[in-house]
Amino acid sequence: SYVLTQPPSVSVAPGQTARITCGGNNIGSQSVHWYQQKPGQAPVLVVYDDSVRPSGIPERFSGSTSGNTATLTISRVEAGDEADYFCQVWDASSDHWVFGGGTKLTVL
Amino acid sequence: QVQLVESGGGVVQPGRSLRLSCAASGFTFSNYGMHWVRQAPGKGLEWVAVISYDGSDKYYADSVKGRFTISRDISKSTLYLQMNSLRAEDTAIYFCAKDHYGDHSAPIDLWGQGTLVTVSS
């Protein structure tokens, strides 16, 4: 089955840029979606189809894919960005949705 | 307003059954695929099942296939998850979710608040 690998944690100082990676075999050929989840809340879609921002999501959030890695980039990080972030794809070979294990973003 | 409201969670013994419901409002329910996604305490997200906009296609995670059944009642704008032969590892918050543009690969753009299922003797 298809596996998505994320680093368990990423730390960044306020105002800096955070990059959260999601590794998967030839993930560049997939549509990758990213979700933000704060404690006790439901997830929120922050980037879909690799790089599209839903309405209401700040421009500071962006996404990209290349080869075996997808990246969620958060520019000018704020304290309110502290959350868990999950990548996700639809694996057409198995008709399964797949989530990455999640990355906890800590704002120092 | 646009929302999903889950119900039906609770404490159940191993081997027993439970049915979750998700009431949708504020959008045309019959136009979108719907998912169940779960999250065990302190763990990540795990996709459970998806049903197409018209109910004709259903897909399940390997961990629940043969035990869980996803269904929808368009007349009631309600999504269901019938869970049989429950196991301790099924303990989780279960989220109902709507897809963004009616395709299996579409992202989720609306989530419910979740309902907690605890499987314990």
Work out the mean pLDDT of chain A and round it to a whole number: 97
pLDDT for the residue numbered B105: 79
Interface residue of B64, B105, B110 to substitute, partner A, most A CBs within 10 Å: B105
Residues of A in contact with B35 (CB under 8 A): 97
What tokens does A70 get? 């997808």
**pLDDT tens digit string along A38-85?**
999 999 999 999 999 999 999 999 999 999 999 999 999 999 999 999
Task: Tell me the nearest-neighbour CA distance from B90 into chain A, angstroms.
Answer: 17
In A5-94, which ranges are E strands?
A: 9-12, 18-23, 33-37, 44-47, 61-66, 69-74, 83-91
Over residues B65-113, the pLDDT tens digits come to 999 999 999 999 999 999 999 999 999 999 999 999 888 779 999 999 9
Task: Name the DSSP class of A5.
Answer: B
At residue B46 the predicted structure's pLDDT band, cuts being 50, 70 and 90, is very high
Cβ pair B32, B98 in contact under 8 A: yes
**Longest Cα–Cα distance in chain A:** 41
Q: How far is B120 from chain A (nearest CA, A)?
A: 22
Collect all residues of chain A within an 8 Å Cβ-Cβ radius of residue B50. 97
Asked if the Cβ–Cβ distance from B44 to A96 is below 8 Å, we say no
